Chain A
């Protein structure tokens, strides 16, 4: 049994409980947790030191070089030999590691935030739409958009083969028609035949102007597209396709995919952000979809539907606010893992462009001096990575406890 301490009783005593919002409640709970406070402290420390140093403690990495300070151990009191203070020591080029670690934080945090932003935006949108339309019937407009896009996409193959890009319009039109006349003919079979023939005609006839074989192939493709479009595609179909795509991305181990993407784009902070962001999309898509599915049958959603609110309004006004808490938790934790991945890329030499300070790159550059005893050059950048990641993880953990009403005691 869970022990209830006297303080907790006062908190949950409804008679004396003042009125607070959900978020206020969560905030209170967050502050009451030791680990969350620790996490918050670390995060605030890193964010503020990075921000302040970026704006108020000028550092020009491009000009930083002092051979006389090569690989000095941490020094706190200036001596005659070394007239400056280096709490974390210096690296091979005589650069102050403390300074580089602090400024490196700016880069690492930026990568984390932008990468998570990319994953969250695309993943969240995909998840939200998949989850929503998986259960809610589409309106005619939405169905038309879906069918139109499907037609357009299918048409791109035929249009490319025949090198006639107006076919795209024909296919999109076919899709729209199929979406609009979904109830045409009672029998499925007849509809299938109709759209199949239409599709075949749409692409075979223009294809004839190129060559007979092109016409045959395009015709076959058109037939196939028409048949597929004649089927009652709906949100479930969309959701299925999306989730399969996410499965594919997920089946590659994260780093390898990110490495491949960076190898394609070339190294650099911005490219690292994109790579890490793309790799993270499926996590957010799956999570969002599952939380949407969990609340979609709640009364307030049904109520909103029954009074005829538009789908966009339901998604933005009713669903989004109510799925925020798990997303916030995941985002916080996602920041942690994005920082970790960015550091890994930097370590492999695929991160920030030198001499820009970046934790992983600093580690990768200095670990060859380990055998000569320069432990500080790898110790401190690594600690910075570990602590900042830990901070976000602790905070995320605390947020989960604070935001998840199930765990309320």
Chain B
């Protein structure tokens, strides 16, 4: 097992390095000069030049061939990418260009908001998706099956930004039950322990805060949950159907075991593997969907923040934020791989 984990880590590493490379590249490819973005429209050419020097933007991207021609070996490697990697290795994501706040600090503040939203969405998706899938599979080709499968397909097909807008229209504009945006009402204070307001308010026994937080997170979480919910329901159904056709299920049934027992004791456990994988893959969908959901619900997470930074050419934010998302995505899928291997020992020996 440990050997397997080690192998997996080894195979993730090159991907990670590739990811830093791509992140670095696409920042530099986006048109617009961060120095101008930083200084504003009326900056003089000299001050722009000086800032470029300060930020290291006047260095070549990867390697400096001129320095090498002059015999300067250190200068050869002193490039933007190498500096970036050196900073990364110290866990320094740099300061944002416009307000010079360490990206790490803002990430610590904003990432929990995205995590909270994504986690809750995932919980909703799993709690609804898996039972729907099981029921569909056990009642195959009935009306219930068709309805829930078309329903989950609608979920998969849902433009979440549209669903979010419709939710706002119904619950915030017409019924006025729920607030249309933000994470908490102004004036509500929740002591931060984990930075996940739902959990913090529960720990500190702040019921008013908890209710407020729930009312704020409800709409975005439901909107974000639709696509994974549909996917999980469909995956559960098909993998249950696969398992139900296996010989050992037939045997169990032939032995006279009750349908429900067979379903839960034997089939579900074996059908769990693909479902777990698909849940892991949804982590990416959730983080990506966060850009749209956070835009609509003014949610103070990292999705919207990164989007704004891309448009505002705030490179350190884009780099730091995207890197974090990519790492989380790779990490979740790494965990899924391990879990998979635990559930199914055959994989380890492949």
Contact = CB atoms under 8 A, between A and B. Distances in A.
Nearest to A366: B165
A370 B173 contact: yes
A222 B127 CA distance: 57
Given A213-B71, A263-B30, A340 B329 contact: no
Contact of B146 (A35, A254, A340): A35
A261 B162 CA distance: 23
Contact of B157 (A252, A254, A390): A390
Interface string A319-361: 0000000000000000010001001100110000000000010
A346 to B, nearest CB: 10
Contacts of A256: 288, 291, 303, 306-307, 322, 325
Nearest to B164: A367
Contacts of A160: 65
Interface stretch (A11-19, A70-78, A378-386): A378-386
B162 A211 contact: no
Interface stretch (B79-87, B148-156, B271-279, B336-344): B148-156
A217 interface: yes
A161 interface: yes
Contacts of A1: 253
B38 interface: no
A238 interface: no
A163 B154 CA distance: 57
Contacts of A397: 153
Interface string A186-217: 00000000000000000000000011111001
B311 interface: yes
A394 B70 CA distance: 64
Query: For chain B, which range describes its interface: under 10, 10 to 19, 20 to 34, or 35 or more residues?
Result: 35 or more
A210 B67 CA distance: 12
B68 A161 contact: yes
A253 interface: yes
B131 interface: no
A263 B311 contact: yes
Contacts, number: 152
Interface of A: 1-3, 34-35, 160-161, 163, 210-214, 217, 244-245, 247-256, 259-261, 263-264, 266, 336, 340, 343-344, 347-348, 360, 363, 367, 370-371, 375, 378-379, 381-382, 385-386, 389-390, 393-394, 397
Shortest 7 CB-CB contacts between residues of A and residues of B: A253-B288, A382-B162, A248-B18, A389-B157, A390-B157, A255-B288, A213-B71
24 contacts: A163-B65, A217-B76, A248-B19, A252-B329, A253-B288, A253-B291, A254-B284, A255-B292, A260-B26, A260-B310, A260-B318, A266-B31, A336-B157, A343-B159, A344-B292, A363-B162, A370-B173, A378-B162, A379-B166, A382-B159, A385-B162, A386-B159, A393-B153, A394-B153
Interface of B: 14-15, 18-19, 21-22, 26, 29-31, 63, 65, 68-73, 76, 140-141, 146, 149-150, 153-154, 156-159, 161-162, 165-166, 168-169, 173, 253, 284-285, 287-289, 291-292, 295, 303, 306-307, 310-311, 318, 322, 325-326, 329-330
Given A378-B165, A389-B159, 6 more contacts: A3-B141, A163-B65, A248-B22, A256-B306, A264-B30, A363-B162
